[in-house]
């Protein structure tokens, strides 16, 4: 179906600091990828093409990566780890499709978004279909605990998004509120990926808890990275429009730190700029390369989270997977560092 074709430019995804981490579970990630691609076939032929487009976006597949590494680190990879990875990625893609409606986003991963291409009505339903399919697969796990944890994480993601939506342009949003939103909307799925990777191997509860905490911190740090990228990134590299968060009234960590650190008069001026949508001016201020500047402080904050995540890994046996989990932290540290340049 020609209409659904994506440009091949979108396929180069495991370059950069993440590449060696990805390599550790490459063959399982390939299985995840082919299983994700097969999901479209579960649908009515009339809608298969839309599903294929939505899931074929060649994301970074970070949640699958976490699920697989965690499985490898805690006793070995089973087919159920691949299934877990697929389910979590489908939920993630479903939320992206819905996010793009709300953000009126035009491009995602270098391609037109589903809503830009086929409108909001279809996007709402397509997200629902993906979500239903994820939970359909999720019912296949032997332990009800697995399905339940996945559904709970999905609920957390949506709840986090609601709170974020409610508090757009809310200049009283505190840094603690931001942390909670980030943990809910991004941390939850990362966290359940790492936790359930261990649960599938019947790991000790203390190990599963440590991995849950690792996933939560890595997820939160990744969201901080993504939020900084929206201010300091390069549009042509990341494949989406910059300044989107500010334009939509999403107050992310650098903005909150700017507001908090500014003297009263300045704070009022910045607040007015946010409300008036002076995104370019604000971005310039946020990009100021000073020590203690909001962007730099946000980057350090994300890096501290990553180090705390890495500290959780001491409970794991040393093997290529647990080392790769540590390395994943290092890769994110490096990505964050690149934003300082």
List residues binding a copy of itself (CB under 8 A).
Answer: 42-44, 46-47, 50, 94-95, 98, 101-102, 120-122, 124-129, 131-133, 135-136, 138-142, 144, 147-148, 150-152, 154-155, 157-159, 161-163, 165-166, 184
Alpha carbons 155 and 185: distance in angstroms, whole number:
9
Residue (133 or 201) nearer to a copy of itself, CB:
133
Q: How far is the CB of 137 from a copy of itself (least distance, A)?
A: 8
Q: How far is the CB of 317 from a copy of itself (least distance, A)?
A: 30
Residue (103 or 227) nearer to a copy of itself, CB:
103
Q: How far is the CB of 304 from a copy of itself (least distance, A)?
A: 26
Residue (157 or 306) nearer to a copy of itself, CB:
157
Residue (45 or 292) nearer to a copy of itself, CB:
45
Q: How far is the CB of 140 from a copy of itself (least distance, A)?
A: 7
Note whether 6 and 114 are within 8 A (CB): no
Residue (65 or 101) nearer to a copy of itself, CB:
101
Q: How far is the CB of 178 from a copy of itself (least distance, A)?
A: 14
Note whether 210 and 172 are within 8 A (CB): no
Note whether 68 and 35 are within 8 A (CB): no
């Amino acid at each position: 179906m020609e209409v659904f074709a994506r440009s091949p430019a979108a396929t180069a995804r495991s370059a950069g600091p993440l590449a060696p981490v990805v390599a550790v579970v490459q063959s399982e990630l390939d299985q995840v990828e082919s299983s994700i691609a097969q999901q479209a076939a579960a649908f009515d032929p009339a809608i298969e093409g839309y599903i294929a487009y939505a899931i074929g976006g060649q994301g970074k597949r970070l949640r699958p990566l976490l699920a697989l590494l965690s499985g490898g680190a805690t006793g070995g990879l089973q087919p159920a780890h691949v299934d877990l990875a697929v389910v979590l990625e489908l939920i993630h893609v479903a939320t992206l499709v819905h996010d793009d409606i709300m953000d009126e986003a035009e491009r995602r991963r270098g391609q037109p978004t589903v809503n830009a291409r086929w409108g909001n009505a279809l996007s709402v339903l397509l997200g629902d279909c993906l979500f239903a399919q994820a939970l359909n697969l999720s019912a296949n796990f032997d332990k009800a605990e697995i399905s339940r944890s996945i559904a709970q994480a999905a609920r957390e993601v949506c709840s986090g998004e609601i709170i974020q939506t409610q508090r757009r342009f809310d200049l009283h949003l505190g840094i603690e509120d931001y942390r909670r939103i980030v943990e809910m909307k991004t941390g939850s799925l990362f966290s359940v990926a790492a936790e359930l990777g261990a649960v599938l191997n019947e790991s000790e509860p203390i190990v599963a808890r440590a991995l849950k905490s690792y996933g939560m911190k890595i997820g939160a740090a990744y969201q901080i990275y993504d939020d900084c990228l929206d201010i300091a990134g390069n549009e042509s590299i990341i494949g989406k429009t910059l300044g989107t968060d500010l334009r939509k009234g999403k107050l992310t960590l650098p903005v909150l730190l700017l507001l908090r650190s500014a003297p009263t008069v300045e704070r009022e001026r910045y607040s007015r700029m946010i409300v008036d949508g002076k995104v370019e001016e604000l971005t310039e201020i946020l990009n100021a390369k000073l020590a203690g500047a909001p962007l730099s402080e946000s980057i350090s904050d994300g890096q501290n989270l990553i180090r705390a995540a890495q500290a959780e890994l001491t409970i794991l046996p040393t093997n290529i997977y647990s080392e790769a989990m540590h390395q994943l932290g290092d890769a994110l540290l490096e990505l964050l560092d690149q934003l300082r340049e």
